[in-house]
Amino acid sequence: MKLLRYGEPGQERPGVLDKAGLIRDLSGYIPDVAGPALSAKSLDHLKSLDIEALPHVPGQPRIGACVGNIGKFICIGLNYADHAAETGAEIPKEPVVFNKWTSAVVGPYDNVLIPRGSEKTDWEVELGVVIGRAASYISEQEAMDYVAGYCVVNDVSEREYQIERGGTWDKGKGCDTFGPIGPWLVTTDEVPAPHNLKMWLEVDGKRYQNGSTSTMIFNVPQIVSYLSRFMSLQPGDVISTGTPPGVGMGQKPHPVYLRPGQTMRLGIEGLGEQRQQTRGA
């Protein structure tokens, strides 16, 4: 099942994609693709519905972030062996954890704003994991029972703010619009092999990232279990699990960074595609 949210910012309604690729309205059954609606019981009920009989949403409405009311937007850094190599970093012994502020969340086709004074805004296609059940101190063996589904995340990053300005990575990761999510939340039953998905990203038609989740250092159960030792995870929390090589910072002989007026396209096998225009803030 491919869940989504459609409508203007702050007014999104829940929907589901039917077999023909049409949006069907779910607001008669759940208030939003968020919180309790992501529980296994709720998802099982939605899966039992006759999707083709739900109201069809006409036209081409704006698609919002596929999860509403996100409580925590947690990210894992340097989690692909080939990406760590391109940045010259050592393979982490434990997951590198940082946050994106929820004010960074936008829809998959919304504009990405280059911060004022920024010269090193970068791109990162990532597999997003959406939590569907409250979790604390869970084992790797049971971790997948707490996952509602997966989505595409663009972990947009300002490298100067992240690396050169002192403190943690967070200030370079959480700028407004730096967290496009979606277009869909794809439930786990439709993603039987999350650790073998092709993923890619292009800027102005040039493909920079062309990787696979198979090169993850820490897999999804390891990440979910690890995080649950340090914080409780709640339904609707989003975990962005790292990026493959090909980021702008790693380009040779010189890094390549985003500037206003460019187009990013990115996607993950089975999870859909995003497209963003860059604009000056």
Beta strands per DSSP E along 63-183: 73-77, 96-99, 105-106, 112-114, 121-122, 125-131, 147-154, 157-158, 179-180
Closest C-alpha among 220, 235, 210 to residue 95: 220
Beta strands per DSSP E along 20-90: 23-25, 73-77
215 and 104 in a single domain? The answer is yes
- Looking at residue 89, which CATH number applies to its domain? 3.90.850.10
37 and 131 in a single domain? The answer is no
What confidence tier does 119 reach under pLDDT thresholds 50, 70, 90? Answer: very high
Using one digit for the tens of pLDDT, what is the confidence trace for 127-160? 999 999 999 999 999 999 999 999 999 999 999 9
More confident residue, 170 or 221: 221
Residue 62 falls inside a structural domain: no
Across the strands, what pairs with 276? Answer: 264
Find the domain containing 83 and state its range: 73-280
> What phi, psi does 245 have (nearest 5°)?
-65, 165
What confidence tier does 91 reach under pLDDT thresholds 50, 70, 90? Answer: confident
Closest C-alpha among 35, 48, 15, 58 to residue 236: 35
Residue 251 falls inside a structural domain: yes
Q: Let me know the angle formed at the C-alpha of 166 by 161 and 172, rounded to the nearest 5 degrees.
A: 25
92 and 202 in a single domain? The answer is yes
Residue 26 falls inside a structural domain: yes
Is residue 175 pLDDT above 90, yes or no? yes
CA distance 152 to 267: 7
Q: Residue 83 has what pLDDT?
A: 74
Q: What is the mean pLDDT of residues 75-87?
A: 83
Q: Residue 165 has what pLDDT?
A: 87
Q: How many domains in the chain? A: 2
Sequence-ordered list of residues with C-beta below 8 angstroms from that of 235, at least 6 positions apart, any chain: 34, 35, 36, 38, 39, 131, 132, 133, 134, 148
How many other C-beta atoms can be found within 10 angstroms of the C-beta atom of residue 241? Answer: 25
35 and 101 in a single domain? The answer is no
